[in-house]
Structure 1
Amino acid sequence: MKNRGFEIVSVYEGNNIILPERKTDKSAGYDIACAEDAILKAGKVTLIPTGLKAYMNDDEYLGIHIRSSIALKNSLSFINGQGIIDADYYNNANNEGHIMLAVFNHASTDFSVKKGTRLAQGIFYKYLMTDGDSNDKGLVRHGGMGSTGV
């Protein structure tokens, strides 16, 4: 039985995608690399593919955070602060659960990232629900990124 982890989305199989890993024994985050070269335009948001999807338990989510070293040195951030990957995003019909990084370049010059650049880190979290809430809403995700509640 699988609990949580990363897989390569089908359109990126055979493209030497790097599966995320923790770099030290006490690292909380799994480093996530870019699946393609990208140019981050100054003052703009760029969606960068990772070639990855994540599976987890129903009461968990994957938090996606920009790596602090690349953010500080290059004036980058995620446009939404932290990406949240819900458990039902995995293998959704729209995009197979492909994790994309929405990066904002605060600098006045463009910035290039190469395939394999460790741009983000993913941390698996448990979440809690309020009294009276349950997981039996009867609703199923039909879309991909940003589709909850649409």
Structure 2
Amino acid sequence: MFEVKIKRLPGNEDIPIPRKMSQLASGFDLVAAVSEPVSIFPGEWKLIPTGFYLEMPAQLEAQIRPRSGLALKKGITTLNSPGTIDADYRGEIGVILINHGKETFIVNRGDRIAQMVFQHVPEIRFTETEQISETDRGKGGFGHTGI
């Protein structure tokens, strides 16, 4: 188990810390810490504050992902998905929401807007070489096996 420290920004005592909404959920729901309702028009995106900072061990990264219900029902998703929060970041956690829907989307204080999933970050050592092994796939990329 990893310990992740969380610090609320002043004035956000009413905002719940991230939490899982079911026992086996992998993501922790994040809520909006906006001071007043924020309108996101179709095709527009905005940075939505969450009201907290994180401190996590070097072995972790936090990924910000969309909520499937918002995506399906409203066309709302996260613009850079998944968004990465590195272990050495100490600023406020923010969520970039984009409206792919047909109607203006209103973000209210306390609305669940995204989820945060933690991933283990392995230590990697690159070894420079003159040759790499061959595979059946080879250089095939982007749709090489069909659509």
TM-score (norm: length of structure 2): 0.76
- Match status 1:98 vs 2:92: yes
Match of 1:52 in 2: 52
Is residue 47–residue 102 contact of structure 1 (8 Å, CA) maintained in 2? yes
Cα pair 2:78 2:114 within 8 Å, conserved:
no
Secondary structure of 1:48's counterpart equals strand
2:68 is matched with: 68
Give the alignment of 1:1-150 within 5 angstroms. 3-10=3-10, 12-14=11-13, 16-36=14-34, 37-90=37-90, 97-132=91-126
- Equivalent position amino acid for 2:118 in 1: F
Q: What's the secondary structure of 2:117's corresponding residue? A: strand
SS across alignment from 1:120 = strand
SS of the residue 1:46 aligns to: strand
3-state SS in 2 of match to 1:89: coil
The residue aligned with 2:141 is none
Q: How many residues align?
A: 124
Residue pair 2:70, 2:77 contacting (<8 A) in 1 also: no
Distance 2:66 2:7 in 1: 20
For residues 105 and 115 of structure 1, the distance between their equivalents in structure 2, rounded to whole angstroms, comes to: 18
Instruction: Using the TM superposition, give the Cα deviation of residue 23 of structure 1 relative to its aligned residue in structure 2, in angstroms.
Output: 1.6
In 2, Cα distance between equivalents of 1:23 and 1:38: 24
What amino acid maps onto 2:117 in structure 1?
A: I
Give the AA of the match of 1:40: I
Identity of aligned residues (%): 29
Tell me how large the CA RMSD over aligned residues is: 1.8
Taking structure 1 as the reference length, what is the TM-score of the superposition? 0.75
Whole-angstrom distance in 2 between the partners of 1:54 and 1:122 = 12
Structure ID, larger Rg: 2
User: Helix, strand or coil for the counterpart of 1:107?
Assistant: coil
